Structure 1
Amino acid sequence: MAGRYGVLDEEKVFKDPVHRYIHVRDELIWELIGTREFQRLRRIRQLGTTYLTFHGAEHTRLNHSLGVYEVMRRMVENIEKKQKWDPEERLVCLSAALLHDIGHGPFSHSFEKVFHMDHEEWTREIILGDTEINQVLSNMGESFPQKVADVISKTYSNKLVVSLISSQIDADRMDYLLRDAFYTGVSYGQFDMERILRVMRPAEDQAVFKHSGMHAVEDYIMSRYQMYWQVYFHPVTRSAEVILSKILHRAKDLYEQGYEFIDKPKHFYTLFSGKITLKDYLKLDESVILYYFQEWQEEKDEILRDLCQRFMDRRLFKYVEVDPSAQMRVWPELLQLFTKIGLDPHYYLVIDSSSDLPYDFYRPGEEEERLPIHLLKQSGELRELSRESEIVEAISGKKRTDHKLYFPLDFLEDERTFAEEKKRILLLLKAQEG
């Protein structure tokens, strides 16, 4: 095999609360872990603002990335027992698993929405750009970084490799369900990963699963379903995300208006102007963001100051369930009342929607088409999971969506000013809840 990296003289082992141990035998993987871009993931939480709901959710993207690598290592080890694999293909798999989240920014998805970014594009930039990661990967050969990037962007020629890291049952999902359940202290995300790995078999374009292991796969699907609605879409977490995004929006709006910050947000300048470079992006992590949130609690701008105080002190917005299909007939009146009492509705009256599709069968040509999970019968026939499992069939193709309206209840309950208007607002909000 081309490349200057071989096998370590002595295996490196990380103690891990989810997988017990993470094993590193390849010099390439050990060198990637030591790069500054990978170590940056220590300063980015895996679950964004979820720590404000589940206080144990302090684990990082680095924790998760090492876990995905370990799951992939075990997958590849099992596959190599079934068929002969090119040694370089194995390292492409392991590298892609380790680096799949390398492009995440601080507070991940909330940050992306505000600044219209895609962490997968930044992942590609980091792998192919002027970085330590690129230098390490390039030592395996000129084309090696591109191969790793292609796996993550799902354009790699070997579709089996892509499916191991990006499908409806892959190394990424298996680790984050188990890891997020562990650190949030819930039982919903638990499933028998050992059994799933044992019944996994390589096929031409994806991994399939022995029919005898169907119940373990069912359990995995239902665990994912429960984690999304009990943890990932928790309304308190979403309230924190709403405030976080509004802080970033307000800071950007003020910058564009020429506002003079007491503490100039120099880390944000190229971000606000839409001219951010890879070097600038890699300087951003959650410690930087929280530093500014801490400082902006003293700003002259009342909105920025209040939102930052809310986020740092966990004084979050309350919420009511809403049904947008009813067109919220009271919405114009709410906007008018909020404006009258001095609360800018753009920042203090926010509808947030969450949706999830727990499992889907193959719908060719549709947007975000999903490769289905296949079961391998003793006869050699492949059967799509929902055709064999009544449990999975019941939720297949069914997208669940939830809408909530967030607002600052404490402001509305303070009747020292605009008492009648605030009572009217609370009445309208209560009516929305039914």
Structure 2
Amino acid sequence: MSILSIRDLTVRFAGEQGTSTAVNGISFDLQKGEVLGIVGESGSGKSVTSLSVMRLLSEPGSIDKGSVHFGEDAPVDLLSLPEKEMRHFRGNRISMIFQEPMTSLNPVFTCGFQVDEALMLHKKISRKQAKTETLRLFEQVQLPDPERIYKAYPHELSGGQKQRVMIAMAMSCEPDILIADEPTTALDVTVQQTILKLMLDLQQQNGMSVIFITHDLGVIAEIADRVLVMYKGNIVEQGTVEELFHNPQHPYTKGLLACRPPLDKHLKRLPVIADFMQEQEDGSLHTTPISVQDAITRETISTADREARLQQLQEQDPVLQVKGLKTWFPSGGNWLGGNKHWVKAVDDVSFDVYPGETLGLVGESGCGKTTLGRTILRLQEPTGGQIIYKGRDLLSLSSKEMRDLRKEMQIIFQDP
């Protein structure tokens, strides 16, 4: 039986160049206890669809037409409810894990306070009871040192830790429907598996229905019962996971599956969806001929070539040298500076980067990756160590000299 029924949902955005359609008359049902995956490239309408269900769409977006019926015995059209009535459903009966936790959490309140507020509002419990439940939820989503996280502000946590706070908040009221918009993107693989298992456990315990939005086909294959594929605001294909992965029908779905990087070989360039489908003048899509697809996937780089290139790179002088770098943060203590503890975010890290080299830095959420990157650019001042760029010690440069040098050293931040 359907717990959510969406019919002919159309969402438009007004702009200087006219009106664009973000979601184009889509219809689908969510069954009770079902995990429904929604996949598609950025801008395909996945997040706009979920925000429309929650009635959280902001200007210049507007719902042009359609209905969103929630409930089994006496379905209610959420789009026709006054905002005051919608608040009883939002966060309580239908909850959402947002894509960008930094913009979803309030920067002026502690993480614990924000989860407490949700519990007190919807469960009508005391502040003391709410704190106990919040700490339990923080443990459940494997946040380290729940008491510290409870008292911490969002900016004091890593991206992955903020996302886990959001997950705890969304699950706190045990909703009938959980909408998860890229909930594990910021998490390392180990924690991702823990969170996915947690969501599935809670879903099965409570009979909760889940709409899981992601670009990760591997995650969809692991947790979803049924999948919708969106492209340019339309649902182009839907079916069970088995049908979609083993017998895709639409050219776009075939392209999505085909452009996953292979694990058994290194391609000269990563394939993209456009390699596997062609858009005609009338807007229709057709699968690229097999001969063209094969030509792309045949262009590989041998292991010997990769090793020779790496050796060639390392025969040069390094462009960046990091030596014994430390970045520590004070934690606790009184206003006189007594009993201060230190969080060693980066502790005695050393490595070289050579011209033309791509160096991968991996590790679980909160292990210091982002702090290391910010410290190298002196967006965060180090506690000790050396950072040498093209022979210049960055720690000896003035603020003005460092600003000039940042024209040569750029960063793409985690939360755009």
Give the structure-1-normalised TM-score: 0.27
